[in-house]
Structures are given as structure tokens and as C-alpha cells.
Amino acid sequence: MCLGIPGRIIEADDSYPRMGVVDFDGVRREVCLAYTPEADVGDFVIVHVGFAISTVDEEEAARTLAVLNAIPDALSAELAGGDPSGSAG
């Protein structure tokens, strides 16, 4: 299953491509922020295969996380990989 997972940006840099660390309900992953140049620390983004693809408000992020958390192991399965460089871990 491939899902877009909402998370809050907790770190962002100005590298190229722009990267950041996103917190997904306690799980943190490095994410490419190149497709969401307007997003900054504190904002919520939807992440798919290690790339932030859109921004969402906190309410929408919470609703989506609640649905994902209702599916056994959905969040942990989606976040098992998630490295935008293509390597596992």
C-alpha cells in the first residue's frame, strides 16, 4: 500500500534539493521539501515515498492520522522505508 502520510516539519534547510525532518506522530524521517517550497518548520505536509507533495492544515492532518491509526500497522508499514534517496532505513 502506498499512502500520503501527514506530518509536521520540525527541521528544514536551504540545501538543494531542500530537505527537512518531518515528525509523523512520533516517528521522524528525512523528507525532500523541494515540491513544497512554501512549507516551513511547524507546517504540516503530506509525504509520499519521502517527498512532501502538498501542505495541509493541522486539522486535516489530525483527521488523516486518525484514519491511518485505525488501520492496524498502516502508519508503521508506510514509514518503514521512506528514504528519498532510495535506500532503506
Cell of 75: 502508519
55 vs 79 pLDDT, higher one = 55
C-alpha 18/C-alpha 13 separation (Å) is 6
Contact status, residue 1 vs residue 48, Cβ threshold 8 Å:
no
Residue 72 has pLDDT above 70, yes or no: yes
Delimit the domains of the chain by residue range.
Answer: 2-80
- Reported as a pLDDT band with limits 50, 70 and 90, residue 54 is very high
C-alpha 27/C-alpha 69 separation (Å) is 13
Q: What is the pLDDT of residue 43?
A: 98
- Chain segment 8-45, per-residue pLDDT in tens: 999 999 899 999 999 998 889 999 999 999 999 999 99
CATH topology of domain 2-80: SH3 type barrels. (2.30.30)
Contact status, residue 20 vs residue 33, Cβ threshold 8 Å:
yes
